[in-house]
Copies of this chain bind each other. A is one copy, B any other.
Amino acid sequence: MASNKKISMAVIRRLPRYYRYLSDLLLMDINRISSKELSTRMGITASQIRQDLNCFGGFGQQGYGYNVELLFNEIGNILGVNSKFQTIVIGAGHMGQALANYGNFEKRGFQIVGIFDNNPKLVGKEINHMKIQHMDNLDDFVKKYHVDIAMLTVPYDYAREVAERVALLGIKGLWNFSPMDLKLPYDTVIENVHLSDSLMVLGYKIRDKFPGKT
């Protein structure tokens, strides 16, 4: 039964993973799955799967399991894949260009509508059918197109001020790739990526597992 109790971030962060596995099952023409079978595939307990899903509703049926397509759609709705988030990329370096070119965000509800940089050498360059715009255009653009999300790939020293600027413009979410924890005195929601952190954890795990080498 659907509950309006606060749902923990641990659960939320597992949802995209469920979504991916269900998508795979659909591609394999599997249309029914039990928590037990899914637990084997995903490497988590069946108990956790049932607990997680029941935060949002009783999507299964006793004696049967879960209908894959139905569950896929339900989780998609929870994650908002049918939303239309107007999204821009700020910082048109290699990473910014990579994000602007990545096709899979759109089918998850994130439409990239602009890309910005303050380097005159980059301004005007076409990336994925968009011309890189100068940062001078940012404020007008954000207001005119009601931009919801900014993907931030600017250098460290520049991140805080740009974040503050777009937050003041009313942007709702920041996807932050700079190696800095942004905190803003506004409502803007922030999700950090911190690629280097992830890589360092990989390094730790390797040295932990192969103590001799490196």
Chain A residues in contact with chain B, CB under 8 A?
12-13, 15-17, 19-20, 42-43, 78-81, 83-85, 93-95, 97-98, 101-102, 104-105, 108-110, 148-149, 172-173, 175, 179-181, 183, 187, 189, 191, 193-207, 209-210, 213-214
Main secondary structure of the interface of A (DSSP, over half): helix
Q: Which B residues are in CB contact (< 8 Å) with A20?
A: 179-181, 197
Residue of B nearest to A42 (CB): B181
Stoichiometry, as copies per complex, reads: 2
Which 9 A-B residue pairings sit nearest by Cβ, starting from the closest?
Answer: A16-B197, A94-B98, A191-B202, A98-B98, A173-B206, A189-B205, A16-B200, A95-B98, A94-B101
Q: Please state if A200 and B101 are interface contacts (CB–CB under 8 Å).
A: no
Inter-chain CA distance A173–B207, complex, in Å, is 10
Q: Which B residues are in CB contact (< 8 Å) with A200?
A: 15-16, 19, 79-81, 108
User: Separation in Å of the A143 CB from the closest CB of chain B?
Assistant: 15
Q: Which B residues are in CB contact (< 8 Å) with A12?
A: 201, 204-205
Q: Which B residues are in CB contact (< 8 Å) with A13?
A: 197, 201
Q: Please state if A206 and B189 are interface contacts (CB–CB under 8 Å).
A: yes
Inter-chain CA distance A204–B7, complex, in Å, is 12
Q: Please state if B109 and A102 are interface contacts (CB–CB under 8 Å).
A: no
Residue of B nearest to A197 (CB): B16
A214 interface neighbour in B79, B80, B204, Cβ under 8 Å:
B80
- Additional 8 contacts, C-beta under 8 A, given A173-B202, A173-B203: A12-B201, A16-B194, A20-B179, A79-B200, A104-B179, A173-B205, A175-B199, A187-B210
Known: A78-B204, A85-B214, A94-B102. A175 touches B191 (CB 8 A): no
Q: Which B residues are in CB contact (< 8 Å) with A19?
A: 200
Q: Which B residues are in CB contact (< 8 Å) with A191?
A: 198-199, 201-202, 205
9 interchain pairs, CB-CB under 8 A: A15-B200, A16-B200, A20-B181, A80-B200, A94-B94, A148-B206, A173-B202, A189-B205, A191-B201
